[in-house]
Amino acid sequence: MSSNDKYQTPLSTRYASQEMMSIFSARTRASTWRQLWVWLAEAEKELGLDISDEALKQMREHVTVTDEAFVVANEYEKKFRHDVMAHVHAYGEDAPAAAGSIHLGATSCYVTDNADLIFQQRALDLILPKLAKVIQNLQQFALQHKDLPTLGFTHYQAAQLITVGKRAAQWIQELMMDLEDIETVRERLQFRGAQGTTGSQATFLELFNGDADKIKQLNEILCKKAGFPSAYPISTQTYTRKVDLRVANAVCALGATAQRICSDIRHLANLKEMEEPFEKSQIGSSAMAYKRNPMRSERITALGRKLARLPADFTATFEAQWFERTLDDSAIRRMDIPEMFLLADSILLALDNVTNGLVIYPNVIKARIDQELPFMATESILMKLSTHGVSRQDAHEEIRVLSHEAGAVVKQQGGKNDLLERIKKNEFFKPVWNEIDSLVDAKLFIGNCPKIVEDYCNGDVAAKLAKYSDSLLKAETAQLSI
């Protein structure tokens, strides 16, 4: 049957990277199980169990599961209705000298749970530098436009001016929070190790003739082989599903951040102040040829919406685990864990593209400022008049009347804001006529924005990105070679 005749997730066919898909592939999963069995046998032999060198040799030679081995395992699974035991038997056929040593003392969760922790560790290591790259893109953008005035919005109504760079710095700060949270769960991720069927370690205590110290050594060896600092001190048949929820809370929050950033970009695209990259031959609409839709930002928003809501699944799965475990976690975790990382990966790939090629239109930004700045400048005009001995109350009333007249031109006639022209023609304001133009320079209204951007981007952000300097250099080199 052709792949075109079977459902495939868009995450794998359209959005996610090959590297991330490979982590959660069937071959990687089954081969990781075999690697875990090798590590267990090696550790058990090191601690005195009778496992032959030939058994280990054959196991090591057949760690990667071949297409033929999958066929064998599938046949065993039809018979046993148990995926792990199917692969135990298939591995035994590939490594017959080890048939009696594979999975010795272990429960199924030795391979399934430890493999899931390995996959999450690898996936976290894959998304962290990609997130750092997006932050670097925005850091450069923010510094470039740190002093370019733009209209600020509160309640999506015109507010005090900020700068284009200051708005980007806000996006950076939120992504930095995601980066720090994901780094934290990566650093705290531990291994399940070899804990037995209910976490009592009973089978391993029997294998080692009651020597509990050897169980401790066994898990230390396994953690070292797998690249984990330690194993969780308490285990049931599984590692606690609180771990998955902890990871999800950090990773899935990226979905909310991505939505927020791309919603801003989409609104700014509507205002024609900013656009995501738009390729020369790109089509915006099948009917409206003139359109330049922010389709990448819309895609990110959609993927972010899905990712941000996944923690509800992980919460329910954790809540529903009874006592030492129930199997109602299995099917949903097979979907949720890969989907979480494929979504995050897809979002970061698209965000990298968008933030690496943001286009701004300064003249449109200035025109929008010009429509609002005269109103904002009236307070400065009031202050100047007072230095000429003019009553502030009288000046306030004069400006109020002229402002309403100018506002009517904008709202009722669709004209430009002519408040300053009205002030320049009104004899009441003659004492400050020559100073009015200097009072409406937009850069007088951006406050401390340039320094805020410089201090943050060259301080906290630069310090954090230094940790990812090697991966960022590789990404930059790769982009230059395209």
User: One digit per residue, pLDDT tens: the chain, 482 residues?
Assistant: 777 888 999 999 999 999 999 999 999 999 999 999 999 999 999 999 999 999 999 999 999 999 999 999 999 999 999 999 999 999 999 999 999 999 999 999 999 999 999 999 999 999 999 999 999 999 999 999 999 999 999 999 988 999 999 999 999 999 999 999 999 999 999 999 999 999 999 999 999 999 999 999 999 999 999 999 999 999 999 999 999 999 999 999 999 999 999 999 999 999 999 999 876 666 555 556 555 789 999 999 999 999 999 999 999 999 999 999 999 999 999 999 999 999 999 999 999 999 999 999 999 999 999 988 888 888 888 888 888 888 989 889 988 999 899 889 888 998 888 888 898 899 998 898 888 888 888 999 999 999 999 999 999 999 999 999 999 998 887 776 65
Domain membership of residue 68 (yes or no) is yes
Pick the catalytic residue from 2, 3, 155, 286: 155
Q: Please report, to the nearest 10 degrees, the dihedral formed by the alpha carbons of residues 100, 104, 109, 111 taken in order.
A: -70
Residue 44 lies in a domain: yes
The first and second tokens of residue 45, run together, are 């032999």
- Rounded-to-integer distance, Cα 480 and Cα 482, Å: 6
How far, in whole angstroms, is CA 47 from its chain's centroid? Answer: 42
Same domain, residue pair 244 and 294: yes
Report the 10 Å Cβ neighbour count for 471. 15
| Pure H helices in 281-361 | 295-308, 311-319, 330-355
pLDDT for position 124: 98
- Strand bridging mode 149-154 / 274-275: unpaired
Degrees, nearest 5: CA angle 443-445-450: 60
* pLDDT of 176: 98
24 and 45 housed in the same domain: yes
Give me the phi and psi of 161, to 5 degrees please: -70, 145
| Beta-bridge mates of residue 162 | 150
Q: Which residues contact 135 (CB under 8 A, 6 or more apart)?
A: 172, 175, 176, 179, 461, 464, 465
Residues 137 and 210 occupy one common structural domain: yes
Do residues 78 and 202 both lie within one domain? no
Answer whether residue 446 is part of any domain. no
Distances, alpha carbon 215 to alpha carbons 36, 357, 429, in Å: 16, 54, 89
Same domain assignment for residues 259 and 393: no
Q: Do residues 178 and 231 both lie within one domain? A: yes
Asked if residue 82 belongs to a domain, the reply is: yes
Shared-domain flag, residues 252 and 202:
yes
Domain that residue 70 falls in: 18-104
Residue 473 lies in a domain: no
Per-residue pLDDT at 410? 86
Q: Which residues contact 187 (CB under 8 A, 6 or more apart)?
A: none
For residue 128, the model assigns a pLDDT of 98
Residue 456 lies in a domain: no
Residue 452: inside a domain: no
**CATH code at position 395:** 1.10.40.30
Do 294 and 309 belong together in one domain? yes
Do 148 and 25 lie in one domain? The reply is no
* Residue 258 neighbours by CB distance under 10 Å: 30
Instruction: Give the chain's domain count.
Output: 3
Same domain? 42 vs 96: yes
pLDDT at residue 288 in the model: 61
> Do 429 and 390 touch, CB atoms closer than 8 A?
no
Query: pTM value?
Result: 0.93
Residue 384 and residue 435 in contact, taking contact as beta carbons nearer than 8 Å: yes
Last residue of a domain, one of 63, 81, 104: 104
Note whether residue 311 is domain-resident.
Answer: yes
Helix, strand, coil fractions of the chain, as percent rounded to 5? 70, 5, 25
CATH of the domain at 50: 1.10.275.10
Known catalytic residue: 285? yes
CB proximity list for 154: less than 8 A, separation 6 or greater: none
Count of other CB atoms within 10 angstroms of residue 125: 12
Identify the CATH number of the domain in which residue 155 sits.
1.20.200.10
Active-site option among 22, 230, 285, 386: 285
pLDDT score of 482: 54
